[in-house]
Amino acid sequence: MDYRKVKSMKSFKMKKLAAIDIGSNAVRLLIANTYIENKNPKYKKISLIRLPVRLGNDVFSTGKISQKTISNLIESIKTFRSIMKIHNVKKYIAVATSAMRDAKNAKEILDKIYKEAKLKVQVISGDLEAAYILKLFKNNFKSINKNYLFIDVGGGSTEINLLINGKIIVSKSFRLGTLRLMNSSDKNILKNFSKWIKTKTKKIKNIIVIGTGGNANKILKISNILPYEIIKLSSLLDLFKKVKKYSIIERIVKLKLNADRADVIEPALKIYINALEFSNSNKFIVPRIGLADALILSLNKDINTGYDLD
């Protein structure tokens, strides 16, 4: 920020906001200072906490979230609330995605979160999840007038936006994710995803695949590539072979992955590689953004979308 452009600190308005993302593989809390610069919403991260509460392991195998996992989730959310209070957060937004969408006992869990942690959580659709992240991407990336296959891979779902010259042509949410692939024997899940991509992109040239989500960020780090730099398909294939060859322990030690990332990185790579191959793309870019970042941006733009932290 160029503080020389700020006439006085009195005229400079900064809000401390928080976003909670209850995903299929983990739950995240992002706290940020937000402000407006040159009429554009900006934010600076203060704290990012990720806890490996795997809702998807239960949901994608039994259809419900177990009592043990519910207890872990409640404790996580209560801890998040305490951290937000310590940081003096004014407004927050909390959403749950694929696993909670599919859980038969979702309403019971959301009611319990509100009763014990006093936080309101909204279950959002796959389409809305994709829209949040796409807005953040457009806000951060200047070279938008190209052809992009924008893919967000989560534990339980994968959201796709196809952009031609910066305009959305088609969007789709698939019940396909890293944990879902690991817990399902249905071979058509990935096949249907790949077929859809091939059909929708067959007449489009020079597509760049944009990958978001925790696994995409880890792929970026392992590849020793900066955000927005191009990773070629051949490099992803080489990485996939390496990951597949390693045991879980070797992935933790040699690739420096957390235990709850070491098992899901393989199906994540498989999804992204399929996206590139079936769209005839050789360019993969990771902007290193996620749903929590997108929620902060949305809350900064429209404070009424969030809730006061009582």
The answer to whether residues 58 and 177 belong to one domain is no
Whether residues 299 and 253 share a domain: the answer is no
AA letter at 96: A
Claim to verify: residue 178 and residue 254 sit in the same structural domain:
yes
- How many angstroms separate the CA atoms of 269 and 153, rounded? 10
The pLDDT value given to residue 20: 97
pLDDT at res. 185: 67
Q: Residue with structure tokens 């796409």? A: 134
In a domain, 3, yes or no: no
Indicate the SS3 state at residue 161: strand
Q: Are residues 279 and 297 in the same domain?
A: no
Based on the domain organization, do 180 and 250 belong to the same domain?
yes
Query: What is residue 9's predicted lDDT score, i.e. its pLDDT?
Result: 47
- pLDDT for position 127: 86
pLDDT score recorded for residue 196: 96
Shared domain check, 160 and 88? no
Question: Do 107 and 79 belong together in one domain?
Answer: yes
- Predicted confidence at residue 144, as pLDDT, reads 63
Q: Give the domain extent around 187.
A: 142-286
217 shares a domain with 97 = no
Maximum CA extent, the chain: 61
| Number of domains composing the chain | 2
Is residue 185 classed as helix, strand or coil in its secondary structure? coil
Residue 17 C-beta-side C-alpha neighbours within 13 Å: 29
Tokens of 160: 């796709």
Return the CATH number at 91: 3.30.420.40
State how far the Cα of 128 lies from the Cα of 97, in Å rounded to an integer: 10
Is residue 233 a part of any domain in this protein? yes
Is 212 within the bounds of a domain?
yes
- Do residues 78 and 55 share a domain? yes
Sign of CA dihedral 131, 167, 34, 24: positive
pLDDT at 142: 61
Q: What are 93's strand-pairing partners?
A: 19
In the prediction, which pLDDT does 133 show? 83
Task: Measure CA of the first residue to CA of the last residue in the chain; give whole Å.
Answer: 31
pTM over 0.85: yes
Q: What is the pLDDT of residue 3?
A: 45
Answer whether residue 216 is part of any domain: yes
Quick one: CA torsion of 179, 184, 186, 189, rounded to 10 degrees? -10
8 A C-beta contact, residue 100 and residue 129: no
Residue 6 within a domain: no
Mean pLDDT by groups of 10 residues along the chain of 310 residues:
48 82 95 82 89 93 95 97 95 95 96 96 90 79 77 91 86 90 81 95 93 92 92 97 96 94 95 97 92 89 83
Q: Are 103 and 181 found together in one domain?
A: no
pLDDT at residue 135 in the model? 81
Residues 108 and 181 in one domain: no
Q: Within this chain, do residues 71 and 191 fall inside the same structural domain, yes or no?
A: no
Q: Are 301 and 226 contacting, i.e. CB atoms less than 8 angstroms apart?
A: no
Is residue 48 one of the residues assigned to a domain? yes
On whether residue 5 sits in a domain, the answer given is no
For residue 217, give the CATH number of its domain: 3.30.420.150
CB 245 within 8 A of CB 164: no
In a domain, 112, yes or no: yes
